[in-house]
Amino acid sequence: MHGARAVSGDNPCFMDQWRTAIVRSEESAIWIHGHDVTQLMRQTSFADTVFLLHRGRLPDDRERKLIDAILTSVSDHGPGAPSCATARLVASGNRQSISAAIAAGILAIGNEHGGAGELCMTMIADGIHQAKRRSISFESAAADLVARTIERGERVPGIGHRVHRTSDPRVEVLFALARTGEEEGEGVRFMRAIHAAVAQRVRPLPMNIDGGLAAVLSDLGFPPEAGKFIFIIGRVAGLTAEVAEEYAREKPMRVRIPVEYDGQ
């Protein structure tokens, strides 16, 4: 369905060509952003390809290292994570399609699980912009932003974790890898300010890996949606392993969920 400005033909005899600036393929060659795929296969890693697909150029060593670290950091967090639990439940009822189980696991990734990185990257961009425009410190901008978020009754993205309640072990490792000498990027510094503001306004809570990857991807120049895209690429590796284990070790329909009826 279309809103008020939608006016255009349908049922044409022919479909318009779709256009892309990512992949070109011919009878005997495939290029990704101008790089021959066979050269990429010989000379680069998958993290290079991920970077190339999203940025149109190959990464330098530091960039590649950070993409590798982020993808690994979110790859799996055990069957209790909603994405992994969902993939296993689907494997439990439908053993005809590996794709169905993996796809369902991905569907569980949203702003509430795994996808908060996108919200975080938007928050970081806004916060840094505010700090610069108003010539205030990151600390002040972060405190304002946290206050407003809590007043709206919303959660501060990138903060808090139900397993790692005092500290998410992945975050400082990622920030250490991102450091150039003593320098930290603006994204990392702003997320540290958010983290401190939450501690002051609410109570000490850990920065989680969504917050960590959002800070680093911001500093690498990725747009906010990358907070979800990169998480999904990493998590899919874990989903495939979780589904493989479900197939190998568990019978179909093994999941029993305790249910209480509380209607009339």
Told to check if 58 binds a copy of itself by CB under 8 A, we report no
Q: By C-beta, is 20 or 135 nearer to a copy of itself?
A: 20
Query: Is there a contact between 89 and 106 (Cβ–Cβ < 8 Å)?
Result: no
As measured in angstroms, the least distance from the Cβ of 171 to a copy of itself is 10
For helices 226-249 and 209-219, what crossing angle results, to 10°?
140
CA 195 to CA 224: how far, in whole Å? 19
Window 72-91: residues binding a copy of itself (CB under 8 A): 72-73, 75-80, 82-83, 85-86, 88-90
Told to check if 204 binds a copy of itself by CB under 8 A, we report no
Told to check if 180 binds a copy of itself by CB under 8 A, we report no
Q: By C-beta, is 129 or 154 nearer to a copy of itself?
A: 154
Residues 209, 215, 216, 217: which binds a copy of itself (CB under 8 A)?
209
Window 20-49: residues binding a copy of itself (CB under 8 A): 20-30, 32-34, 37-38, 40-42, 44-49
Told to check if 224 binds a copy of itself by CB under 8 A, we report no
Q: By C-beta, is 160 or 187 nearer to a copy of itself?
A: 160
Candidates 245, 195, 189; CA nearest to 254 is 245
Query: Is there a contact between 178 and 187 (Cβ–Cβ < 8 Å)?
Result: no
Q: By C-beta, is 184 or 210 nearer to a copy of itself?
A: 210
Window 126-165: residues binding a copy of itself (CB under 8 A): 146, 149-150, 154-165
Candidates 194, 205, 120; CA nearest to 164 is 205
As measured in angstroms, the least distance from the Cβ of 200 to a copy of itself is 12
Count of residues engaged in binding a copy of itself, rule: CB under 8 A: 150
CA 264 to CA 257: how far, in whole Å? 21
Candidates 46, 49, 51; CA nearest to 221 is 51
Told to check if 19 binds a copy of itself by CB under 8 A, we report yes
Q: By C-beta, is 12 or 181 nearer to a copy of itself?
A: 12
Q: Which helix (H) or strand (E) holds 30?
A: strand 29-32
* 110 phi/psi in degrees, rounded to 5: -145, -165
Looking at residue 32, its amino acid is I
CA 130 to CA 136: how far, in whole Å? 8
Q: By C-beta, is 135 or 261 nearer to a copy of itself?
A: 261
Angle, CA 193 vertex, CA 187 and CA 198 arms, to 5°:
125
Residues 57, 129, 147, 169: which binds a copy of itself (CB under 8 A)?
169
Told to check if 215 binds a copy of itself by CB under 8 A, we report no
Strand partners, 114: 110
Residues 59, 101, 145, 192: which binds a copy of itself (CB under 8 A)?
101
